């Protein structure tokens, strides 16, 4: 019983020492180890021997205590070192994770900015491309200027110039006639003989040839055929001579020249007055016929074509022939701006044609006026005779009074 009390006292002593040195948790661990040693069979047998056992026990406890304390110290150092390492690893991992998160955020921002800039550049490039395509489509000769812009401009200018030169050519043609307004011939008989000789050499018909009057000419009946005026012919051809002869036959015979002394007489003055009136009236149809001739005369200046043939080609470019097919194909690929330009060109051509028709209408009105005046000559002569008779009767009555 006493031994047990001693053992209990020793255990309490060990616990106090360990609690003081290591703390409560470590003391519990050491107490458990010491208790296992003390209650072992060897310790118990030794304690039963008396004094020496106590010294041995104390020595063992001290040795074990030192061993435990050493192990605990080593464990503490190792544990703290390991804890420090783990802590640093955790801090490092957190730092790496934080850095990676920051880098990722920056990368996301950079990627978003780059994507936005790329999209902006793409949109800008697309707009520039669209503008370039639109400019090409709007102003390209194939899609934005109407059909064959350069060719159309050149042909329209040539056409306008050809008809612009026609009045001058018509005036020159009238001036070459033997019965031109204001012209007097040396011999009216000779002039008519020259017309007859020209007819027999160039314009003799088959019936005249059968009658033995002449040989069939290159243009049979050309000096009496108005259809030749409306067909294209070269200026140096026999058809051109036939036109001139036809116009002379329509105007009539030329007028005989008179001497200066005859022109001073009353009869000569009346003759010249009648000549002027005749020329004034006949100049209108003569100029109209010469205009028709000029508009259908082919010249080298316009590549062997006449103004009317040029106008026909321009109209056919829109309403007939191979050119119209090409024009229709060209319109199929035109942009809206090109279609508007083509419509304007067609409208301009229409206005130009109306101008030509207006000029023709003026010549027609002038011819009708001349015809009316010519038709009233007989009526005027009758009125003049009656007026003269009245004057004579009045003068006779006054003489009788």
Task: Say if 128 falls within a structural domain.
Answer: no
* 190 and 102 part of one domain: no
Contacts of 27 (CB under 8 A, 6+ apart): 15, 18, 19
pTM of the model: 0.62
* 57 and 179 part of one domain: no
- Three-state DSSP state, 254: coil
- Cα dihedral sign, 339-345-349-355: positive
Measuring CA to CA, which residue among 305, 343, 357, 299 is closest to residue 313? 305
From residue 206, give the alpha-carbon distance in Å to each of 17, 195, 221.
167, 18, 9
Question: Are 195 and 248 spatial neighbours (Cβ–Cβ below 8 Å)?
Answer: yes
* 100 and 12 part of one domain: yes
Question: Are 248 and 179 spatial neighbours (Cβ–Cβ below 8 Å)?
Answer: yes
* 156 and 305 part of one domain: yes
Task: Say if 229 falls within a structural domain.
Answer: yes
* Tens of pLDDT, residue by residue, the chain (401 residues): 444 555 555 555 545 544 544 444 444 444 444 444 444 444 444 444 456 777 887 888 888 888 888 888 888 888 888 888 888 888 888 777 787 777 777 878 888 888 888 888 888 888 888 888 888 777 777 788 888 888 888 888 898 999 999 999 999 999 999 888 888 888 889 999 999 999 999 999 999 999 988 899 999 999 899 999 998 899 889 999 999 999 999 988 898 888 888 878 888 888 888 888 888 888 899 999 999 999 999 988 888 899 999 988 888 888 877 888 888 888 888 888 888 888 888 888 889 989 989 998 998 888 888 888 777 766 667 767 776 777 777 766 655 55
* 213 and 158 part of one domain: yes
Task: Say if 203 falls within a structural domain.
Answer: yes
Task: Say if 180 falls within a structural domain.
Answer: yes
DSSP tag of 305: B
* 216 and 93 part of one domain: no
Query: Distance between alpha carbon 233 and the CA centroid of its chain, in Å?
Result: 41
* 159 and 111 part of one domain: no
Rounded distance between C-alpha atoms, residue 237 and residue 235, angstroms: 6
Token reading at 94: 């957190």
From residue 126, give the alpha-carbon distance in Å to each of 88, 114, 118.
55, 18, 12
* 183 and 286 part of one domain: yes
Rounded distance between C-alpha atoms, residue 289 and residue 230, angstroms: 10
Cα angle value 37/40/46 (rounded, 5°): 95
Which domain-ending residue is among 121, 140, 170? 121
Question: Are 323 and 317 spatial neighbours (Cβ–Cβ below 8 Å)?
Answer: yes
Task: Say if 178 falls within a structural domain.
Answer: yes
DSSP tag of 301: G
In this prediction, residue 399 carries a pLDDT of 56
* 186 and 302 part of one domain: yes
Task: Say if 136 falls within a structural domain.
Answer: no
Question: Are 159 and 306 spatial neighbours (Cβ–Cβ below 8 Å)?
Answer: no
In this prediction, residue 203 carries a pLDDT of 93
Task: Say if 57 falls within a structural domain.
Answer: yes
* 89 and 170 part of one domain: no
Cα angle value 228/284/160 (rounded, 5°): 65
In this prediction, residue 290 carries a pLDDT of 92
- Three-state DSSP state, 361: helix
The total domain count for the chain is 2
- Cα dihedral sign, 104-108-111-113: negative
Token reading at 40: 């072992």
Please list the alpha-helical segments (H only) found in 176-202.
188-202
Question: Are 285 and 170 spatial neighbours (Cβ–Cβ below 8 Å)?
Answer: no
* 172 and 246 part of one domain: yes
Q: H or E element: which one contains 364?
A: helix 336-375
Task: Say if 130 falls within a structural domain.
Answer: no
* 212 and 112 part of one domain: no
Contacts of 372 (CB under 8 A, 6+ apart): none
Question: Are 352 and 168 spatial neighbours (Cβ–Cβ below 8 Å)?
Answer: no
Token reading at 397: 């009555």
Name the residue range of residue 53's domain: 2-121
């Amino acid at each position: 019983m006493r031994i047990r009390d001693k053992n209990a006292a020793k255990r309490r002593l060990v616990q106090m020492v360990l609690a003081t040195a290591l703390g409560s948790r470590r003391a519990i661990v050491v107490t458990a180890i010491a208790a296992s040693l003390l209650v072992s069979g060897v310790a118990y047998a030794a304690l039963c021997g008396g004094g020496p056992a106590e010294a041995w026990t104390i020595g063992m406890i001290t040795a074990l205590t030192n061993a435990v304390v050493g192990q605990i110290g080593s464990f503490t150092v190792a544990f703290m070192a390991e804890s420090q390492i783990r802590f640093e690893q955790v801090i490092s991992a957190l730092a790496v994770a934080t850095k990676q998160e920051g880098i990722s955020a920056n990368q996301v921002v950079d990627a978003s900015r780059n994507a936005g800039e790329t999209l902006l550049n793409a949109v800008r490039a697309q707009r520039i491309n669209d503008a370039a395509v639109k400019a090409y489509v709007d102003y390209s000769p194939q899609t934005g200027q109407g059909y064959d812009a350069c060719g159309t401009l050149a042909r329209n200018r040539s056409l306008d110039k050809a008809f612009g030169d026609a009045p001058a050519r018509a005036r020159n043609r009238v001036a070459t006639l033997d019965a031109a307004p204001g012209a007097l011939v040396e011999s009216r008989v000779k002039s008519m003989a020259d017309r007859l000789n020209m007819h027999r050499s160039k314009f003799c018909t088959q019936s005249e040839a059968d009658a033995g009057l002449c040989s069939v000419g290159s243009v049979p009946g050309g000096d009496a055929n108005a259809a030749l005026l409306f067909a294209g012919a070269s200026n140096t051809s026999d058809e051109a001579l036939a036109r001139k002869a036809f116009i002379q036959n329509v105007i009539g015979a030329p007028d005989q020249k008179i001497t200066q002394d005859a022109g001073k007489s009353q009869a000569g003055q009346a003759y010249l007055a009648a000549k002027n009136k005749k020329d004034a009236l006949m100049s209108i149809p003569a100029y109209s016929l010469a205009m028709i001739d000029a508009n259908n005369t082919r010249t080298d200046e316009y590549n062997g074509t006449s103004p009317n043939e040029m106008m026909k080609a321009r109209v056919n470019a829109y309403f007939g022939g191979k050119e119209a097919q090409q024009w229709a194909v060209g319109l199929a690929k035109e942009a809206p701006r090109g279609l508007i330009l083509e419509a304007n060109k067609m409208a301009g051509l229409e206005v130009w044609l109306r101008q030509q028709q207006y000029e023709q209408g003026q010549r027609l009105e002038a011819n009708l006026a001349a015809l009316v005046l010519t038709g009233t000559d007989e009526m005027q002569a009758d009125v003049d005779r009656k007026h003269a008779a009245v004057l004579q009767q009045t003068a006779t009555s006054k003489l009788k009074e």
